[in-house]
A and B are shown apart, each in its own frame.
Chain A
Amino acid sequence: MTTQKRIWIVRDYLRCSGCRKCEIACSLFHENKIWPEASRIRVFMLVPGAEVPHLCTQCEDYPCVESCPVEAMSVSTDTGAVLVDKEKCTGCSLCINACPGRIPHIHPTEKYAVICDLCGGKPKCVKVCQKGKWDALRTILKADEQWAGHDRAYELYALTPEEITRDLVINLYGEAGEELI
Chain B
Amino acid sequence: MQGYTGKFLEVDLSTENTKNVTFDESVLRKYIGGRGLATKILWDRLGHQWETVDPLGPENILLVLTGPLTGFFPGGRICVSGKSPQSNGVIGSTVAGEFPIELKCAGYDGLIITGKAAKPSYLFIMDAQTEIRDASHVWGKNGKQTLKMLTEEGRESLQKRFPNYGEWKEPSILYIGPAGENKVRMAAVMAKWTHAAGYGGYGAVMGSKNLKALVVKGTGPLPEVEDIEQVKTLIDKVSEECYGADAFRRWGTSAAGYEVGAKDSSEPVRNWQEEWHNQQSFGVNRFEQRVWIKRHWGDFGCPITCMKIAMPKVGPFKGAIGDNPDYELQAYLGPNLGVFTPEESVYLSSLIDDLGLCGIQGGNVLGLAGELYQRGILTKEDLDGIELEWGNTEAFAALAEKIAVREGIGDILAEGSYRAALKIEEMKGKNVVQYAVQEKGVALGAHGIRSGKDYTTDISYACSVQAGDHTSVAYMPIDHGDSELAVILHDSGVYCWFTTFALEEAEWDFLKAVTGWKIEPEEWYKTTALRILQLQRALLLLGGPDLKWNPRVHDDNPPRFYEPLPSGPYAGKKVDRAKFEESKKEYYEAAGWDENGIPKSEVLERLELEDVDRALKEKVR
Report which of B170, B222, B320 forms a contact with A45, defined as CB distance below 8 A.
B170
Q: CB of B298 within 8 A of chain A?
A: yes
A24-B301 in contact (CB<8A): yes
Closest residue of chain A to B194 (Cβ to Cβ) is A48
Give the residues from 73 to 97 in chain A that come closer than 8 angstroms, CB to CB, to chain B: 91-93, 96
Chain A neighbourhood of B193, CB < 8 A: 48
Known: A49-B294, A134-B305, A180-B144. A20 touches B300 (CB 8 A): yes
Query: Is B29 at the interface (CB under 8 A from chain A)?
Result: no
B228 nearest CB neighbor, chain A only: A32
- Cβ contact of B294, chosen from A19, A32, A34, A172, cutoff 8 A: A172
Interface stretch, picked from A3-11, A55-63, A98-106, A147-155, is A98-106
Cβ B319 vs Cβ A35 within 8 A: no
A159 to B473, CA, bound (A): 49
CB of B166 within 8 A of CB of A35, answer no
Whether A33 sits at the interface, judged by CB under 8 Å, is yes
| Complex Cα spacing A133 to B296, Å | 10
Q: Tell me which residues across on chain A come within 8 A of B239, comparing CB atoms.
A: 21, 131-132
* Contact across chains for B303 and A44 when beta carbons are under 8 A apart: no
Q: Cα distance A173–B166 when bound, in Å?
A: 28
A37 touches B164 (CB 8 A): no
Min CB distance, A96 to chain B, in Å?
A: 5
Determine the residue in chain B with the shortest Cβ distance to A51. Answer: B297
CA distance A21 to B302 in the complex (A): 7
Q: Do A48 and B164 have beta carbons less than 8 Å apart?
A: no
**Chain B: interface residue count, which band?**
35 or more
Q: How far is the CA of A131 from the CA of B236 in the complex (A)?
A: 10
In the assembly, what is the distance between CA of A106 and CA of B221, in Å?
15
Q: Which residues of B contact A19 (CB under 8 A)?
A: 298-303, 305
Q: Which residues of A contact B72 (CB under 8 A)?
A: 34
Judge if A46 is at the interface, Cβ distance under 8 Å. yes
Residue of A nearest to B231 (CB): A34
Question: Does B169 contact A44, Cβ atoms closer than 8 Å?
Answer: yes
- With both chains docked as a complex, state the minimum distance between the C-beta of B581 and any C-beta of chain A, in angstroms: 46
A28 contacts chain B at the CB level, 8 A cutoff: yes
Are B164 and A91 in touch, CB under 8 angstroms? yes
Q: Which residues of B contact A21 (CB under 8 A)?
A: 239, 301, 303
Within 8 A of A (CB), among B221-236: 221-222, 228, 232, 235
For B294, the closest partner residue in chain A by CB is A49
**Judging by beta carbons under 8 Å apart, are B221 and A35 in contact?**
yes
Residues from chain A with Cβ under 8 Å of B413 in the complex: none
Q: Is A31 an interface residue (CB 8 A)?
A: yes
Mask: chain B, 239-257; 1 = CB below 8 Å from A; 0 = not: 1100100000100000000
Query: Is the CB–CB distance between A35 and B220 below 8 Å?
Result: yes
Bound together, the chains give a CA A106 to CA B294 distance in angstroms of: 32
| Nearest opposing residue in chain B for A14, CB measure | B294
Task: Map CB proximity to B onto A153-181 as digits: 1 under 8 Å, 0 otherwise.
Answer: 00000001100000000001111100011
Q: Does B52 lie at the interface of the complex (its beta carbon under 8 Å from any beta carbon of A)?
A: no
B49 at the interface (CB under 8 A from A): no
Closest beta carbon of chain B to A171's beta carbon, Å: 9
Q: Determine whether the beta carbon of A36 is less than 8 Å from that of B105.
A: yes
- Contacts A108-B220, A172-B293, A176-B319: A160 and B167 contacting too (C-beta < 8 A)? yes
1/0 contact string of A114-156 vs chain B (CB within 8 Å): 0000000000000000011110000000000000000000000
> Which residue of the partner chain B has the closest CB to A105?
B166
Q: Does B321 contact A (CB under 8 A)?
A: yes
List B residues 270-328 near A (Cβ within 8 Å). 293-294, 296-303, 305, 309, 311, 313, 318-321
A102: B residues at CB distance < 8 A? 166-167
Chain B residues lying within 8 Å of A108, measured Cβ to Cβ, are 219-220
Give the docked Cα–Cα distance between A168 and B193 (Å): 17
Cα(A92)–Cα(B192), bound, Å = 34
Q: Is B165 an interface residue (CB 8 A)?
A: yes
Q: Is the CB of B296 within 8 A of A134?
A: yes
Return the contact of B165 from the options A14, A18, A28, A106 (Cβ within 8 A): A106
Which residues of chain A have C-beta atoms less than 8 A from B232's C-beta?
28
Enumerate chain A residues within 8 angstroms of B249, measured Cβ to Cβ: 133
A128 closest partner in B (C-beta):
B239
CB distance from A101 to the nearest CB of B (A): 9
In the complex, the answer to whether B221 meets A17 with C-beta atoms within 8 Å is no
B344: Cβ under 8 A from any A Cβ? no
Tell me, in angstroms, the Cα distance from A66 to B484 when the chains sit together: 60
Tell me, rounded to whole Å, the shortest Cβ–Cβ distance linking B131 to chain A. Answer: 20
How many whole Å from A110's CB to the nearest CB in chain B?
12
By a CB distance below 8 angstroms, the chain A residues around B319 are: 173-176
> B294 to chain A: closest CB distance in Å?
6
Most chain A beta-carbon neighbours within 10 Å: one of B169, B300, B313, B321 = B169
User: Are A173 and B299 in contact, with the CB atoms below 8 A?
Assistant: no
B321–A33 touching, CB < 8 Å: no
Task: Return A54 CB to nearest CB of chain B, in Å.
Answer: 8
B260 at the interface (CB under 8 A from A): no
Which residues of B sit under 8 angstroms from A172, Cβ to Cβ? 293-294, 309, 311
Per-position 1/0 for B345-372, Cβ under 8 A of A: 0000000000000000000000000000
Contact A49 B243 (CB under 8 A): no
Given contacts A44-B170, A46-B151, contact A105 B298 (CB under 8 A): no
A133 and B243 contacting across the interface, CB-CB below 8 Å: yes
Q: Which residue of B lies closest to A31 (CB)?
A: B221
Known A-B contacts A17-B305, A49-B321, A180-B144; the reply to A106 vs B298 at CB < 8 A is no
Known contacts A20-B98, A49-B321; is-contact A109 B220 (Cβ 8 Å)? yes
Instruction: Answer yes or no: B432 CB below 8 A from chain A CBs.
Output: no
Tell me, in angstroms, the Cα distance from A93 to B159 when the chains sit together: 13
Which residues of B are found within 8 Å of A38, using beta-carbon distances? Answer: 221
Residues of chain B with a CB closer than 8 A to A35's CB: 105, 220-222
The answer to whether the Cβ of B441 comes within 8 Å of any Cβ in the partner chain is no
| Residues of A contacting B313 in the complex (Cβ-Cβ under 8 angstroms) | 174
The answer to whether A48 and B192 have CB atoms under 8 Å apart is yes
* Chain B residues whose C-beta falls within 8 Å of the C-beta of A134 in the assembled complex: 296, 305
Q: Considering the chains assembled together, what is the distance between the CA atoms of A134 and B318 in angstroms?
A: 28
Kindly state the separation between the CA atoms of A19 and B249 in the bound complex, as whole angstroms. 13
Output the nearest chain B residue to A160 by Cβ-Cβ distance.
Answer: B167
Give the chain A neighbours of B299 by CB distance below 8 A: 18-20
Q: Which chain B residue has the least Cβ–Cβ distance from A176?
A: B319
Q: Are A34 and B221 in contact (CB under 8 A)?
A: yes
Q: Give CA–CA (A31, B224) in the complex, Å.
A: 12
Contact present for A132 and B147 (CB under 8 Å): no
Query: A17 contacts which of B155, B169, B293, B298 (Cβ < 8 Å)?
Result: B298
13 further A-B pairs in the complex, CB-CB below 8 A; given A37-B220, A173-B293 = A19-B299, A19-B302, A34-B71, A35-B222, A49-B321, A96-B167, A102-B167, A104-B166, A134-B296, A161-B167, A172-B294, A173-B311, A174-B313
A-B contact pairs, 24 of them (CB 8 A): A17-B305, A18-B297, A18-B305, A20-B301, A24-B235, A24-B300, A34-B72, A35-B105, A35-B221, A44-B169, A44-B170, A45-B98, A47-B148, A48-B147, A49-B293, A93-B164, A106-B166, A109-B219, A113-B166, A131-B239, A134-B296, A174-B311, A176-B320, A181-B148
Which of A's residues lie within 8 Å of B, judged by CB?
14-15, 17-21, 24, 27-28, 31-38, 42-49, 54, 91-93, 96, 102-106, 108-109, 113, 131-134, 160-161, 172-176, 180-181
Top-9 shortest CB links A-B: A105-B166, A176-B319, A35-B221, A108-B219, A33-B221, A17-B305, A93-B164, A17-B296, A34-B222
